[in-house]
């Protein structure tokens, strides 16, 4: 008798895939109230996502940004990177204006996320970017948000320009002064002493670098808490506010999208207000400094047509301070030297060392496999030359590979010029009895 066996197959339970969900929050200023709002948003989204059984919590990305028009929000970019890596399916955000006020940026970002299967849900507008009419609604609403941003920007510009016309200053951050609640400037005595010292030292013959070194050595910081540079000293000496006057609207913002700062070279009217506040520097001293700076500029600035560029210009970089090497004529010949070492001294860049130009050309010939130095071949193949420590160079090629090499210091006889040898002979002859 034939035996019949019936096979029963049980269906395996299907694995339920949770939607990987993240949230994005942003506030537009660093005020305490706004930071509290950011904290509240983070807490809200944390609870919202983790309480939904269909969602898998993938983090909260939050930025404190000055404006919604910029694309360089750090955590926003990190969130996009996670989406591109396939780690997020859904992003929840409060509103379009929190995500981006620039229509172009918004649509580009949403379309990119849509292409890789990431949905963005805007709570206030009840819009899913993956829905059929999502992009149309986003385009309309984002245009409105952008226009609102433009209107707010224009109103702010109008208010600032009216203040300029009346000789009022909106904000200030400079050594020696602080702005009172009424909008006027008052002197900060201790800081004012530093300003007077800078002007006095400059008129006494000290250079801008020497003044910066002096301030750094005695522990005086800039108004931003940084070490002084020659540019800081130059700006201080040129600032008309120290003589009690104000030149308003020196710069302006390009537009409400980029907010790029542009120097006002006549595009907009400027306003000069004489005697607007107490002076730290007397007018005749300020004028004398301006005249001295003008003479220094004329004396040491070569005409544009005579400024030379050399094969190694901009290519050699010091790994100690990050500055470029510059070409310098010395009694023993042409050398390349770290800009920091040359202007500030060994104390500020202890590992830098000047490199004879003929040593550089010889090493390039060896590295590039050529008999005679060729500036065109150098430019075609070498992207950068790093100086990690004394007597060591790293050549970075355009194709990404590197070659390290060492060089030896010149002997004393090699570093002597013919003129130096002749002078030594004459000195020796004079010393003979």
The domain tally of the chain equals 3
Domain termination site, one of 265, 300, 335:
300
Domain enclosing residue 368, as ranges: 316-415
- Phi-psi region at 328: left, alpha or beta (left = phi > 0; alpha = psi -120 to 50): beta
Write down the pLDDT at residue 130. Answer: 83
Same domain for 131 and 32: yes
Domain termination site, one of 260, 276, 300:
300
Residue 262 lies in a domain: yes
CATH, residue 259: 3.90.1750.20
Residue 170 lies in a domain: no
Same domain for 120 and 23: yes
Residue 421 lies in a domain: no
Same domain for 104 and 23: yes
pLDDT tens by residue, the chain, 433 residues: 455 545 544 455 555 678 999 999 887 654 444 555 777 888 889 899 999 999 999 999 988 765 544 456 888 999 999 999 999 999 999 887 788 766 667 777 888 898 899 999 989 888 888 876 666 666 665 565 556 555 555 555 555 555 544 545 556 778 998 888 776 788 999 999 999 999 999 999 998 888 998 999 899 999 888 888 888 999 999 988 898 887 766 554 555 445 566 666 666 666 667 777 889 999 999 999 999 998 888 776 655 544 467 889 889 988 888 889 999 888 888 899 988 888 877 777 877 788 999 999 999 999 898 988 988 899 999 989 998 888 899 999 988 888 988 888 866 555 555 665 666 566 656 666 5
Question: Most distant CA pair in the chain: distance in Å?
Answer: 139
CA atoms of 258 and 312, how far apart (whole Å): 35
Same domain for 254 and 144: no
Of 242, 197, 255, nearest in space to 69 by CA: 255
Same domain for 401 and 291: no
Same domain for 255 and 216: yes
CATH, residue 106: 3.40.50.1390
Same domain for 189 and 106: no
Residue 159 lies in a domain: no
Q: What share of the chain is helix, strand, coil (3-state, %, to 5)?
A: 40, 20, 40
Write down the pLDDT at residue 134. Answer: 67
Write down the pLDDT at residue 236. Answer: 93
Write down the pLDDT at residue 108. Answer: 78
Same domain for 141 and 24: yes
Residue 155 lies in a domain: no
Residue 427 lies in a domain: no
Write down the pLDDT at residue 305. Answer: 45
CA atoms of 297 and 295, how far apart (whole Å): 5
Same domain for 224 and 344: no
Write down the pLDDT at residue 83. Answer: 94
- Phi-psi region at 333: left, alpha or beta (left = phi > 0; alpha = psi -120 to 50): left
Same domain for 33 and 65: yes
Domain termination site, one of 272, 300, 328:
300
DSSP string for 318-380: ETTT-PBEEEEEETTEEEEEEHHHHHH-GGG-TT---EEHHHHHHHHHHHHT-SS--HHHHHH
Same domain for 292 and 193: yes
CA atoms of 95 and 78, how far apart (whole Å): 19
Same domain for 144 and 23: yes
CA atoms of 300 and 284, how far apart (whole Å): 24
């Amino acid at each position: 008798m034939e035996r019949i066996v019936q096979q029963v197959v049980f269906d395996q339970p299907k694995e339920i895939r949770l939607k990987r969900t993240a949230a994005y929050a942003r506030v537009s200023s660093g005020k305490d109230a706004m930071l509290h709002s950011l904290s509240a948003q983070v807490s809200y989204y944390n609870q919202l996502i983790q309480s939904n059984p269909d969602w898998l919590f993938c983090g909260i990305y939050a930025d404190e940004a000055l404006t919604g028009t910029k694309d360089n929000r750090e955590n926003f970019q990190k969130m996009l990177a996670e989406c591109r890596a396939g780690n997020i399916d859904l992003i929840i955000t409060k509103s379009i204006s929190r995500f981006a006020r620039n229509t172009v940026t918004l649509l580009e970002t949403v379309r990119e996320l849509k292409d890789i299967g990431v949905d963005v849900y805007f709570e206030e507008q009840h819009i899913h970017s993956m829905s059929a009419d999502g992009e149309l609604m986003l385009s309309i609403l984002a245009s409105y948000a952008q226009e609102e941003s433009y209107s707010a920007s224009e109103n702010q510009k109008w208010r600032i320009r009216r203040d300029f016309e009346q000789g009022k200053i909106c904000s200030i951050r400079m050594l020696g002064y602080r702005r009172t609640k009424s909008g006027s400037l008052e002197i900060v005595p201790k800081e004012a002493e530093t300003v007077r010292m800078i002007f006095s030292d400059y008129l006494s013959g000290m250079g801008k670098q020497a003044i910066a070194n002096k301030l750094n050595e005695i522990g005086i910081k800039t108004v931003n808490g940084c070490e002084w540079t020659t540019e800081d000293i130059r700006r201080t000496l040129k600032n008309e506010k120290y003589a009690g006057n104000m030149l308003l609207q020196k710069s302006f913002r390009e537009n409400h999208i980029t907010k790029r700062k542009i120097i006002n070279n006549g595009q907009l009217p400027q306003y000069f207000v004489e005697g607007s506040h107490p002076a730290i520097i007397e007018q005749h001293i300020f004028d004398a400094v301006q005249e001295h700076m003008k003479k220094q500029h004329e004396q040491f600035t070569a005409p544009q047509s005579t400024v030379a560029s050399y094969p190694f210009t901009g290519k050699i970089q010091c790994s100690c301070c990050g500055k470029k090497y510059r070409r310098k004529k010395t009694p023993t010949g042409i050398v390349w030297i770290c800009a920091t070492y040359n202007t500030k001294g060994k104390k500020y860049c202890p590992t830098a060392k000047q490199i004879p130009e003929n040593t550089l050309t010889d090493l390039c010939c060896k590295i590039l496999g050529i008999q005679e130095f060729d500036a065109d071949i150098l430019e075609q193949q070498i992207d950068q030359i790093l100086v990690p420590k004394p007597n060591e160079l790293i050549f970075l090629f355009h194709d990404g590979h590197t070659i390290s090499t060492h060089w030896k210091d010149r002997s004393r006889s090699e570093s002597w010029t013919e003129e130096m040898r002749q002078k030594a002979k004459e000195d020796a002859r004079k010393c003979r009895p």
